[in-house]
Amino acid sequence: MKGISQALKNVDEVKTVAAELQRNSKTNLFYCLWVFMYESGLRVSDVLKLKYQDVEGQSHLKIKQEKTGNVVRPKVTPAMLSVVAQRKAEQTKMPVATDFIFSAGTLRSKGEAVTRNTVFTEFGKMGRRAGFSNVGCHTPRKSRGRVMFDAGVAIETIAHFLGQTDPRSTMYYIGYGQDVQDDLAEEFSLEW
């Protein structure tokens, strides 16, 4: 499916892309964003708005999703706190002070959060370097749902975790429907 970001199928694939993002010597921004999105299950549009005070000292985030208007409360995990601390440490060395966790902190950015297009470009580039096509803005979120489903978590629970209302659309979202179709096509193909 060209042009559509897809879920990675297991934790090792998620970590492979994360390792490629971490190799970026200029900034830890995209690695930290990848980890935060995977851990929280939030959409890129919701994560980019986060400020330090939204996370630090909190047990849960309280996010009104931009797309749906639903309020979700993902738990703040140790991994999320770790990447927030990494961002804060890096940003102390940047020329522009900012409250946004995921800001480049450069004079050009004026302290604003990085754009969705920049995230899409960077995730896609590093995903290809790691050997995966169609890695995009929603890949960490979709991958979290896919990993949870393959671990036996009920699709209704995953839909709730991702802030979605329809478990059928969640199945499609995590890439499970297409994979099942592909497997069935191969399994029941006649040899001519």
Q: Is 188 exposed, middle or buried (0-12, 13-18, 19+ CB in 10 A)?
A: exposed
In this predicted structure, what is the pLDDT of residue 69?
86
| Identity of the residue numbered 24 | N
Tell me what pLDDT residue 94 has: 85
What pLDDT is stored for residue 185 in this prediction? 85
Angstrom CA distances, 168 to 102, 144, 154, 175, stand at 32, 17, 12, 11
pTM value? 0.89
Mean pLDDT taken over the chain = 90
pLDDT computed for residue 3 by the predictor: 58
Q: What is the 3-state secondary structure (H, E, C) of the chain?
A: CCCCCCCCCCHHHHHHHHHHHHCCCCCCHHHHHHHHHHHHCCCHHHHCCCEHHHHCCCCECCEECCCCCCEECCECCHHHHHHHHHHHHHHCCCCCCCCECCECCCCCCCCCECCHHHHHHHHHHHHHHCCCCCCCCCHHHHHHHHHHHHCCCCHHHHHHHCCCCCHHHHHHHCCHHHHHHHHHHHHCCCCC
Topology annotation, domain 11-187: hpI Integrase; Chain A (1.10.443)
Note the pLDDT of residue 165.
Answer: 87
Q: What does each C-alpha distance from 110 to 54, 103, 123 come to in angstroms? A: 20, 9, 22
Give residue 112's pLDDT: 87
CA pair distance 161, 78, nearest whole angstrom = 18
Domain extent listing, the chain? 11-187
Predicted local confidence at residue 155, as pLDDT? 94
Run of H or E including 123: helix 116-129
> What are the structure tokens assigned to 136, written together?
């995009």
Whole-number pLDDT of residue 156: 95
Residue 3 CB neighbours (<10 A)? 7
Low-confidence residues of the chain: pLDDT under 70? 1-3, 25, 107
CA distance 17 to 30: 11
